[in-house]
């Protein structure tokens, strides 16, 4: 089954389950308030971290260096802000993990390590060139 389709089905189910469990413990109004508070705090913190990432990227450009980490970090912060805006506790936890610089760097390291290990399988290929040589006897009709 397609991973995206599976996520589209499973994430709302998980969120509804968490709404029911947490709502039964702390009450419906508190649960809804908590969802709004985490969305507001998350978006403002994502904005703050996004501006810091932008400043760091500009300083990398001034040093004539490629701001690769800053570009990836900016995309990750946009994803984190989206996850925080989506109502739910599981998406909020994932969004906050991506927003905080320490956990974001850890996630990047894990993903880079997995990417490098998948690249080793491609290293078994040998790239080369070939040339067709005719034997000099042109056949004419």
Q: What is the DSSP string of the chain?
A: --HHHHHHHHHHHHHHHHHHHHHHHH-HHHHHHHHHHHHHHHHHHHHHHHHHHHHHHHHHHHTT---HHHHHHHHHHHHHHHHHHSSSHHHHHHHHHHHSHHHHHHHHHHHHHHHHHHHHHHTT-----------S-----
45 confidence band (pLDDT: 50, 70, 90): confident
Residue 124 pLDDT: 62
pLDDT per residue as tens digits for the range 48-106: 888 888 888 889 888 888 888 888 888 898 899 889 888 899 999 999 999 888 998 89
pTM of the model: 0.70
């Amino acid at each position: 089954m397609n991973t995206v389709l599976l996520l589209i089905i499973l994430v709302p189910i998980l969120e509804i389950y968490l709404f029911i469990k947490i709502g039964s413990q702390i009450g419906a109004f508190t649960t809804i308030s908590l969802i709004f508070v985490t969305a507001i705090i998350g978006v403002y913190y994502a904005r703050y971290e996004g501006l810091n990432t932008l400043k760091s990227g500009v300083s990398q450009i001034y040093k004539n260096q490629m701001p690769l980490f800053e570009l990836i970090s900016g995309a990750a912060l946009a994803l984190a802000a989206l996850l925080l805006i989506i109502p739910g506790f599981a998406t909020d936890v994932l969004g906050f993990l991506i927003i905080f610089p320490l956990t974001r760097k850890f996630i990047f390291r894990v993903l880079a390590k997995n990417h490098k290990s998948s690249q080793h399988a491609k290293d078994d290929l040998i790239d080369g060139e070939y040339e067709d040589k005719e034997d000099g006897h042109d056949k004419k009709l």
